Amino acid sequence: ELKVEQNPLFLSMQEGKNYTIYCNYSTTSDRLYWYRQDPGKSLESLFVLLSNGAVKQEGRLMASLDTKARLSTLHITAAVHDLSATYFCAVDSGGSNYKLTFGKGTLLTVNP
Amino acid sequence: NAGVTQTPKFRVLKTGQSMTLLCAQDMNHEYMYWYRQDPGMGLRLIHYSVGEGTTAKGEVPDGYNVSRLKKQNFLLGLESAAPSQTSVYFCASSTPPGRGRETQYFGPGTRLLVL
């Protein structure tokens, strides 16, 4: 059974600081996704990582995937208040059914 | 395009009542999914469908049934609601892996309270 662990689950940052969210998963997969959720809203796709060594960047966020270590990171550079949200990683368990197993999410709060 | 829509947005049920949640997508996606989101639990897959007329169980299927009679619609039914089914329900759709943009597109959610 695929297990996905995110840490930290809660992260309070100051504006302008850098930090990394980690996503570990338990079985082999080379397809990992990051989503953002604002309070009371739906999930928005941020990054799609489909191979070992994949790196994607958008604005102050950068995501990477190491399939051998079964680890993905979401790095936040010079945080701003608008990045406050819950971030989820999700891993495809493989096969043709495209089933995702989600981590519990990281609640990020960026303080002035 | 409206993307993925869900009906209703909010519902209160009494224990034992039944209801159906409707998900519709206008992106011609083959795959559709139902998740529930509970505090501190992330999203958990209830049922999914890889095509019209097909459904399969996910991680937490007990107490729910689904139907996919049309490609664009995916219905989630609660036959006898229980307080443990109080949750936010999200529908999602996607193309199969390897085709199109590889991500699941989520609807706005349905908040269900079972008293």
pLDDT exceeds cutoff 70 at B100? no
Give every CB contact of residue A74 below 8 A, 6+ residues apart in sequence. A20, A21, A23, A34, A46, A47, A61, A62, A63, A87, A89
Stretches where chain A sits below pLDDT 70 are none
Q: Residue B94: which residues within 8 A CB-CB, separation 6 or more?
A: A98, B29, B30, B31, B33, B100, B102, B103, B104, B105
Per-residue pLDDT, A28: 85
CB contact under 8 A, A100 and B45: yes
Q: Chain B within 8 Å of A104 (Cβ-Cβ)?
A: yes
User: 3-class DSSP state for residue B84?
Assistant: helix
Give the residue on A whose Cα is nearest the Cα of B93: A98
The C-alpha R_g of chain A, in whole angstroms, comes to 13
Mean pLDDT for all residues in chain B: 94
* Per-residue pLDDT tens digits for A61-76: 999 999 999 999 999 9
Q: For residue B20, with 0-12 CB atoms within 10 Å meaning exposed, 13-18 middle and 19 or more buried, which class applies?
A: middle
Q: Is A36 exposed, middle or buried (0-12, 13-18, 19+ CB in 10 A)?
A: buried
Nearest to A102 among B43, B94, B105 (CB): B43
Q: Do B40 and A104 touch (CB under 8 A)?
A: yes
Write down the pLDDT at residue B99. Answer: 64
A88 Cβ contact list (under 8 Å, min separation 6): A6, A34, A35, A36, A37, A43, A102, A103, A105, A106, B42, B43
pLDDT at B101: 67
Q: Does A102 touch chain B (CB under 8 A)?
A: yes
Tell me whether residue A81 is exposed, middle or buried, using C-beta atoms within 10 angstroms of its C-beta: 0 to 12, 13 to 18, 19 or more.
Answer: exposed
What is the pLDDT at residue B95? Answer: 85
pLDDT tens, position by position, B39-70: 888 899 999 999 999 999 999 999 999 999 99
Q: What is the residue whose two structure tokens read 């505090």? A: B39
